[in-house]
Structure 1
């Protein structure tokens, strides 16, 4: 699954266009490398997102095309 779509489906970022802009600005990295929006994300990847002065680091547990709001938190875990 594309990185920008995963960020939206997992509800880490509210909209896909915002996720796309964050990737273009270099604020998102996958496994320690700055990533573009089209990078393929799979279970086990480590994603780091810069939100202003705060960094969020997560591990991808599952990749699903669609998921209900209550189950979105099961797609990743915070590190």
Structure 2
């Protein structure tokens, strides 16, 4: 699944266009490297999303095309630092 779509489906970012723009601006890292919106997300990838001063790190647990709102948080695990 594309990175921008995964960010939207998992609800880490609210809209796919915003996720796409974040990737283009270099604010999304996958496994420590800048990633394009077309990057193919896999289970085990570590996402780093910079939103202003805040950096959110999450590990991808699973990838699914469609999930209910209540189940979206089960797609990833927040990494504390």
**Which residue pairs with 1:20 in the alignment?**
20
Ranges of 4+ aligned residues in structure 1 off by more than 4 Å:
none
Total equivalences in the alignment: 79
* Structure 1 gap ranges (5+): none
Normalising by structure 2, report the TM-score.
0.97
Q: Which whole-Å deviations, capped at 9, do the CAs of 1:32-76 have from their partners, x for residues lacking one?
A: 000010000000000000000000000000000000000000000
Which residue of the partner structure matches residue 65 of structure 2? 65
User: Structure 1 length normalisation: TM-score?
Assistant: 0.99
Counterpart in 2 of 1:36? 36
Show structure 2 runs of 5+ residues with no match.
none
